[in-house]
């Protein structure tokens, strides 16, 4: 496959640390875009602030690196202003689940045709290792030196409840299913959410007895449970596991399509 054409090769190598999972997530996204067959001129990739949010710089589309937490709000303006555009948001567990959490649930609620890919590495990497709303309980981080006492968010359950059209979670270890989630998410008209479990060996692994990137990938492999299998498991058994698979797959009318319908009704004198 000729995937190089989607990259700004003169901007590579990327800034991510050796062993970081984000490159794998980015290439899964590129494969998803390739499968969708979109004209790169019509693709807008928006991000906030954080390690994941640096990805758009390497991708040869219309790319917008915004402020912390608000990428979905910028993307909402872009998509509503020109519904023809294919709008993808790249975010992380800090950018998307903490400061940007409110925008995420409202984009789901509207079912606006934005595709959000959240790189979940369980940590604030860009600021050197503080705990995030998705950091597992007990984990060590620079701001939880005695172990994290906050329970993590399950954003797949949250986005599903908030009316997202498509919700899936995959891991960097299980690359093929991750790519297939991207493909499915991008084929949807409505709001899609894909969570990609990534690894941060520098700030998460080192502190939490996962000494190498390989160990972290093995941890992903060992702890992943398919959503169908998880349905038959007790909550205690699922403690500390990564439930992967498709959480929601619906076909509700997309927001900007509905908006355009409203406009033509008004202009046609029906309202």
Partner 1 sequence: MSERVSLMQGNEASVEGALDAGVRFYAGYPITPSSEVAEDFAAKLPPLGGKFIQMEDEIASMAAIVGASLAGKKAVTATSGPGFSLKQEIIGFANMIEAPCVVINVQRAGPSTGLPTSPAQGDMMQARWGTHGDHPALAVAPSSVADTYLLTFQAVNWAERFRMPVMVMLDETIGHLREKVILPSREEMIIVNRKHPQGSPQSFQPYDIEDEDLIPPLPPYGSGYRFHTTGLYHDETGFPANRPEITKRLLDRLHDKIDRYKETLYLYDSFGLRQANQLIISYGGAARSAKAAWRIAREKGLLVGLLILKTIWPFPEEIVAQAGHDKNNIVVAEMNRGQLIGEVERIMDKRIPIRGAQRADGVLITPEQILAQLEGVN
Residues interacting with partner 1, by CB under 8 A? 8, 11, 40-42, 44, 46, 56-57, 60-67, 70, 73-78, 80-82, 84-85, 102-103, 106, 259, 262-263, 266-267
Comparing CB distances to partner 1, the nearer of 75 and 168 is 75
Comparing CB distances to partner 1, the nearer of 3 and 238 is 3
Comparing CB distances to partner 1, the nearer of 42 and 222 is 42
We find the least distance from the C-beta atom of residue 138 to partner 1, in angstroms, to be 33
Comparing CB distances to partner 1, the nearer of 47 and 121 is 47
Separation of alpha carbons 38 and 59, rounded Å: 14
Residue 91, token pair as written in the block: 């975010």
Comparing CB distances to partner 1, the nearer of 53 and 180 is 53
Separation of alpha carbons 85 and 145, rounded Å: 44
We find the least distance from the C-beta atom of residue 72 to partner 1, in angstroms, to be 8
Separation of alpha carbons 118 and 128, rounded Å: 19
Comparing CB distances to partner 1, the nearer of 82 and 212 is 82
Separation of alpha carbons 69 and 64, rounded Å: 13
Beta strands in 204-264 (DSSP E): 224-226, 242-249
Beta strands in 55-188 (DSSP E): 62-65, 86-92, 114-120, 123-124, 130-131, 166-171
We find the least distance from the C-beta atom of residue 112 to partner 1, in angstroms, to be 9
Contact (Cβ atoms closer than 8 angstroms) between residue 185 and residue 168: yes
Comparing CB distances to partner 1, the nearer of 85 and 217 is 85
We find the least distance from the C-beta atom of residue 67 to partner 1, in angstroms, to be 5
Contact (Cβ atoms closer than 8 angstroms) between residue 23 and residue 31: no
Distances (CA, A) of 182 to 122, 175, 192, 229, 265: 20, 11, 9, 22, 34
We find the least distance from the C-beta atom of residue 170 to partner 1, in angstroms, to be 27
We find the least distance from the C-beta atom of residue 44 to partner 1, in angstroms, to be 5
We find the least distance from the C-beta atom of residue 173 to partner 1, in angstroms, to be 30
Torsion, CA 178, CA 216, CA 143, CA 16, rounded to 10:
-70
Beta strands in 35-76 (DSSP E): 43-47, 62-65
């Amino acid at each position: 496959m000729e995937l190089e054409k989607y990259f700004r090769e003169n901007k590579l190598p990327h800034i991510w640390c050796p062993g970081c999972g984000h490159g794998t997530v980015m290439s899964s996204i590129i494969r998803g875009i390739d499968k969708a067959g979109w004209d790169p001129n019509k693709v807008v990739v928006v991000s906030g602030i954080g390690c994941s949010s640096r990805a758009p710089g390497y991708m040869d589309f219309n790319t917008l690196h915004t402020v912390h937490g608000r990428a979905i709000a910028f993307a909402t303006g872009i998509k509503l202003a020109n519904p023809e555009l294919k709008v993808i948001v790249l975010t992380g567990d800090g950018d998307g689940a903490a400061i940007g959490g409110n925008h995420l649930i409202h984009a789901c609620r509207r079912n606006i045709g934005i595709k959000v890919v959240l790189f979940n590495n369980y940590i604030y990497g860009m600021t050197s290792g503080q705990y995030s709303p998705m950091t597992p309980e007990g984990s060590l981080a620079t701001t939880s030196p005695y172990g994290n006492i906050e329970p993590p968010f399950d954003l797949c359950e949250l986005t599903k409840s908030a009316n997202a059209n498509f919700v899936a979670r995959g891991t960097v270890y299980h690359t093929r299913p991750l790519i297939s989630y991207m493909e499915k998410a991008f084929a949807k008209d409505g709001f899609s959410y894909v969570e990609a479990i990534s690894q941060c060996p520098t700030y998460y692994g080192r502190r939490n007895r996962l000494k190498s990137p390989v160990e972290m990938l093995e941890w992903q492999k060992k702890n992943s449970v398919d959503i169908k299998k998880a349905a038959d498991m007790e909550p205690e058994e699922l403690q500390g596991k990564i439930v992967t698979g498709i959480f929601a797959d619906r076909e509700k009318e997309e927001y900007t399509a509905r908006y355009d319908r409203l406009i033509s009704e008004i202009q046609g004198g029906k309202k």
